[in-house]
């Protein structure tokens, strides 16, 4: 039987360890502060932001939620970011993505002060990641590294293959695994013999945004499979194919209108992998917990004058 890598269990551990650090900061000066900027009314983004604010409240982190309208210009959003950069009660700033198409996302992300970059996306902090210096790390890959550590999964000397080269997951994931002494391959849509490259992996990270794309043909028997994907499948024939006509999944589709599927075929992972993350309940819970960890660390560094 493969080992199921429970993201909820890991999240609970991380948050429990953060709690006394937050209390110590509150006792010495003030609680950590996180500002979350949500432009417009994208339903998915609203859910993410609500969960982030909830996590702050549970830990005792001060949170400031700003919701400028969809019509906000790049210049107006830059002014909001500048004000947050100046606020002494804000240690971390998060701009919820995606932004409306008329806003220059790169300018906005680069406007966040590197010392308040709770997401780890600022070019300065990306440079610190490459140099393996202390700085906020991108939350999802940092959470994956915590999961591997807490499940005592060896990384050094292992072949790690990442499918997907995004700035948010793929590239920082590669650097973190490299710093942990894995031999790392990044694959993408132009990779020749993608399945063959993936079958070499002792640790396979799927982060390309294609439902159930990674099948048993991609998985080395006994490999650790990390599924970053979160895809909502609405087509009945597709759900039936992925879940082999599971009555439970088809009933879920009828009830909810969609079924959440990762980038890895879940039944193939359960049959071929040595350990794997489920969707939901695997990587997803880790992202917000690492956002909280980044915020606490930024507050500690500011308090210490770093």
Catalytic annotation, residues: 52, 96, 119
Q: Burial level of 75, CB count in 10 A (0-12/13-18/19+)?
A: exposed
To 10 degrees, what angle do helices 170-179 and 123-130 make? 30
Distance in angstroms (rounded) separating the CA atoms of residues 240 and 70: 38
Distance in angstroms (rounded) separating the CA atoms of residues 122 and 136: 9
Q: Identify the DSSP state of 116.
A: G
To 10 degrees, what angle do helices 139-150 and 7-28 make? 110
Q: Identify the DSSP state of 249.
A: H
Distance of CA 87 to the CA centre of its chain: 26
What lies within 8 Å, CB to CB, of 304 at 6+ separation is none
Spell out the long-range contacts of 217-221 with Cβ–Cβ below 8 A and sequence spacing 24 or more.
218/194, 219/264, 219/268, 219/269, 219/272, 219/273, 221/272, 221/274
What lies within 8 Å, CB to CB, of 282 at 6+ separation is 5, 6, 7, 226, 227, 262, 276
């Amino acid at each position: 039987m493969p080992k199921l890598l429970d993201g909820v269990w890991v999240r609970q551990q991380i948050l429990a360890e953060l709690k006394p650090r937050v209390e110590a900061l509150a006792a010495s000066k003030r609680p950590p502060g996180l500002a979350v900027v949500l432009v417009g009314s994208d339903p998915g983004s609203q859910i993410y932001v609500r969960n982030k604010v909830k996590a702050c409240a549970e830990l005792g982190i001060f949170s400031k939620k700003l919701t400028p309208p969809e019509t906000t210009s790049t210049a107006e959003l830059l002014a909001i970011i500048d004000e947050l950069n100046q606020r002494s009660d804000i240690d971390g700033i998060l701009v919820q993505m995606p932004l409306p198409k008329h806003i220059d996302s790169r300018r906005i992300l680069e406007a966040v002060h590197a010392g308040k970059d709770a997401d780890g996306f600022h070019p300065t902090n990306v440079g610190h990641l490459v140099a393996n210096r202390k700085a906020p790390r991108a939350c999802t890959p940092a959470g994956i590294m915590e999961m591997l550590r807490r499940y005592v999964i060896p990384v050094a000397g292992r072949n790690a293959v990442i499918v997907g080269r995004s700035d948010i997951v793929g590239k920082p994931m590669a650097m973190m695994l490299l710093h942990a002494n894995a031999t790392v391959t990044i694959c993408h849509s132009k990779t020749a013999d993608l399945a063959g490259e993936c079958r070499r992996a002792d640790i396979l990270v799927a982060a390309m945004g294609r439902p159930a794309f990674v099948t048993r043909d991609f998985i080395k028997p006994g490999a650790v499979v990390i599924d970053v994907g979160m895809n909502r499948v609405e087509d009945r024939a597709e759900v039936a194919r992925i879940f082999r006509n599971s009555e439970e999944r088809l009933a879920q589709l009828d009830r909810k209108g969609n079924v959440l599927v990762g980038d890895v075929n879940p039944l193939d992972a359960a049959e071929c992998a040595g350990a794997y993350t489920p969707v939901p309940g695997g990587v997803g819970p880790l992202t917000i917990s690492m956002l909280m960890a980044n915020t606490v660390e930024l507050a500690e560094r500011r308090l210490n004058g770093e």
